[in-house]
Amino acid sequence: MSDFSFIANAHPSYIENLYDRYQNDPEEVEASWRAFFSGFEYAQQANGNGVAVAEGPVTSYEQISQELKVLALIKAYRDRGHLLSTTNPIKQRRDRKPTVNLDDFGLSDDDLDKVFFCSREMGLENATLRQIIARLREVYCGNIGYEYHHIASREKRRWIRLRIEASQPGQSFGISLDKKRRILEKLNGAVVFERFLHTKYVGQKRFSLEGGENAIVALDSLINESADGGTEEIVIGMAHRGRLNVLANIMGKTYSQIFNEFEGMAVPDLSFGDGDVKYHLGFSSQVETTGGKKIHLKLTPNPSHLEAVNPVVEGFARAKADILYNSEYDRILPILIHGDAAVAGQGVVYETVQMSQLDGYKTGGTIHLVINNQVGFTTDWDEARSSTYSTGVAAVVQAPVFHVNGDDPEAVLHVAELAVAYRQEFNTDVFIDMVCYRRHGHNEGDDPQFTQPEMYKIIKNHPDPREVYSKRLQERGDVDMNLAGEMEQAFWAHLQERLDLVREKPLPYEYQEPEQAWRKLQKKTVPSDYAQSPETGVDEARLNHILDKISILPKKL
Residue 83 lies in a domain: yes
Shared domain for 106 and 181, answered yes or no, is no
Average per-residue pLDDT for the chain: 87
Question: 329 and 201 in one domain?
Answer: yes
* 155 occurs within a structural domain: no
Whether residue 515 lies inside any domain: the answer is no
3-state class (DSSP) for residue 268: helix
Residue 284 lies in a domain: yes
Cα–Cα distance, 197 to 406 (Å, whole number): 22
Specify if 4 maps to a domain.
no
As a whole number of angstroms, the distance between CA 100 and CA 260 comes to 56
pLDDT of 58 over the 50 cut: no
* Mean predicted confidence (pLDDT) in 174-182: 95
Tell me: the pLDDT tens digits for 214-239?
999 999 999 999 999 999 999 999 98
Domain-ending residue, one of 142, 159, 183? 142
The pLDDT assigned to 440 comes to 85
Residue 547 inside a domain? The answer is no
| CA atoms of 87 and 408, how far apart (whole Å) | 9
Domain termination site, one of 118, 142, 166: 142
Look at the chain and report how many structural domains it folds into.
Answer: 2
CATH number of residue 424's parent domain: 3.40.50.970
Phi, psi of 373 (to 5 degrees): -90, 10
Is residue 461 pLDDT above 90, yes or no?
yes
Picking from 124, 142, 160, the residue at the C-terminal end of a domain is 142
- Which letter does DSSP use for residue 265 in this model? -
Distance CA 135, CA 144 (A): 14
Q: Which pLDDT belongs to residue 287?
A: 93
Is the pLDDT at 514 greater than 70, yes or no? no
Ranking 94-108, 222-236, 350-364, 372-386 by mean pLDDT, the lowest is: 372-386
Average pLDDT rounded to a whole number, residues 201-211: 84
Q: Are 128 and 206 within one domain?
A: no
Radius of gyration, alpha carbons of the chain: 29
* Residue 192 and residue 117 share a domain: no
Same domain, 343 and 396: yes
Burial 504-525 (b: 16+ CB within 10 A, else e): eeeeeeeebeeeeeeeeeeeee
For the ranges 323-332, 476-485, 527-536, the one whose mean pLDDT is highest: 323-332
The mean per-residue pLDDT over the stretch 63-92 comes to 92
The 10 Å Cβ neighbour count of residue 116 is: 26
Q: What percent of the chain has pLDDT over 70?
A: 89
Q: Are residues 425 and 346 in the same domain?
A: yes
How many helical (H) and strand (E) elements, i.e. helices and strands, does the chain have?
A: 19, 12
Residue 233 and residue 123 share a domain: no
Coil/strand/helix, residue 295? strand
| Predicted confidence (pLDDT) at residue 53 exceeds the cutoff of 50 | no
The sign of the torsion formed by the CA atoms of 549, 553, 556, 557 equals positive
* Phi and psi at residue 91, to the nearest 5°: -160, 165
First-to-last CA distance in the chain? 56
Q: Please tell me the distance from the alpha carbon of residue 226 to that of residue 218, in angstroms, as a whole number.
A: 12
- Residues 6 or more apart whose CB falls under 8 angstroms from that of 164 comprise 139, 140, 146
Closest by alpha carbon to 476, among 186, 237, 230, 171? 171
Question: For the ranges 122-136, 458-472, 503-517, which has the lowest average pLDDT?
Answer: 503-517
Domain, as residue range, for 117: 15-142
* Statement to judge: residues 87 and 205 lie in one domain: no
Q: Is residue 366 part of a domain?
A: yes
**Residue pLDDT, tens place only, 290-343:** 999 999 999 998 887 889 999 999 999 999 999 999 999 999 999 999 999 999
Residue 66 dihedral angles phi and psi, to the nearest 5°: -65, -40
Domain-located, residue 537: no
Window from 115-129, 333-347, 391-405 with minimum mean pLDDT: 115-129
Same domain, 491 and 421: yes
Of 335, 424, 389, 396, the C-alpha closest to 147 is 389
Cβ 90 vs Cβ 105: under 8 Å: no
191 and 132 within one domain: no
- Banded model confidence at residue 263, pLDDT cuts 50, 70, 90: confident
Is residue 96 domain-shared with residue 208, that is, in the same domain?
no
List pLDDT tens digits, range 9-30: 566 566 767 777 777 788 877 7
Please give the residue that has the higher pLDDT: either 123 or 77.
77
Query: What is the rounded distance in angstroms from the CA atom of residue 553 to the CA atom of residue 416?
Result: 53
Q: How far apart are CA 254 and CA 266, in angstroms?
A: 15
CATH of the domain at 84: 1.10.287.1150
- Residues 448 and 343 placed together within one structural domain of the fold: yes
